[in-house]
């Protein structure tokens, strides 16, 4: 074997090894996105199970706030539907509606001292607030995983391997600006 043939074979082996390293890194990132989504999904399911209990507890005291209770229930259904479909855009919109509804519900509860004093309501409010905080934290981790994945599959030379093996960009989980805004208490109590 000539020296040029050996050099060529070494170059091919090194290139193939480098391609395998890129492929494995892309697989790790893809599964990191899936893991981050699973972490959010667990909390969404837990909150999904807690919300009917909260609505029922509130319903016993808040006879005149049917619209708010129905809005929370409808938003809960929209979140569940979007979650099951894996539609991040729809989930973001549904989450925004649910968070807005919960904010209004908790603000309206201030008008009902008996409800605020109810042990079950206090427990559910704390539980859901804790789940909301957990979802926000895990959403940040999910979006970071998505960003790392999306950047990597667009960078050269990774893009060559990513296209060859059909790696796809993932969608960020974003909430609307309305979700981030404070609840207008004057409108609720005016």
Inter-residue contact 170 to 150 (CB < 8 Å): yes
What dotted CATH number matches 3-189? 1.20.1440.20
Backbone angles phi, psi at 180, to 5 degrees: -80, -15
pLDDT digits (tens, 9 = 90+) for 101-127: 898 888 888 888 888 888 888 899 999
- The 10s digit of each residue's pLDDT in 31-52 is 999 999 999 999 999 999 999 9
pLDDT on residue 22? 95
Q: Is the pLDDT of residue 27 over 90?
A: yes
Question: Which of 150, 157, 168, 169 has the alpha carbon at shortest distance from 20?
Answer: 157
pLDDT at position 186 over 60: no
pLDDT of residue 177: 58
What would the pLDDT profile of 2-13 be if each residue is shown by its tens digit? 899 999 999 999
pTM of the model: 0.77
Q: How confident is the model at residue 183 (pLDDT cuts 50, 70, 90)?
A: very low
- Arithmetic mean of pLDDT over the chain: 87
Q: 83: which residues sit within 8 A by CB, 6+ positions away?
A: 41, 44, 45, 91
Q: Where are the domains of the chain?
A: 3-189
């Amino acid at each position: 074997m000539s020296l040029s043939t050996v050099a060529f074979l070494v170059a091919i082996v090194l290139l193939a090894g480098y391609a395998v390293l890129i492929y494995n890194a892309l697989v790790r990132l893809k599964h990191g996105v899936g893991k981050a989504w699973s972490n959010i999904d667990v909390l969404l399911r837990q909150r999904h199970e807690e919300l009917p209990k909260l609505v029922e507890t509130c319903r016993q005291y808040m006879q005149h706030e049917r619209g708010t209770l129905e809005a929370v229930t409808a938003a809960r259904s929209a979140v569940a539907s979007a979650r099951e479909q894996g539609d991040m855009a729809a989930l973001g919109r549904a989450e925004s509606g649910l968070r807005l509804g919960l904010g209004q519900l908790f603000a309206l509860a201030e008008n009902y001292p008996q409800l605020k004093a109810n042990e079950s309501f206090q427990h559910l409010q704390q539980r859901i607030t804790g789940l909301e905080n957990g979802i926000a934290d895990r959403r940040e981790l999910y979006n970071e995983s998505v960003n790392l994945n999306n950047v990597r599959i667009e960078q050269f030379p990774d893009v060559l391997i990513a296209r060859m093996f059909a790696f796809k960009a993932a969608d960020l989980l974003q909430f609307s600006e309305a979700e981030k805004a404070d609840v207008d208490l004057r409108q609720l109590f005016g």
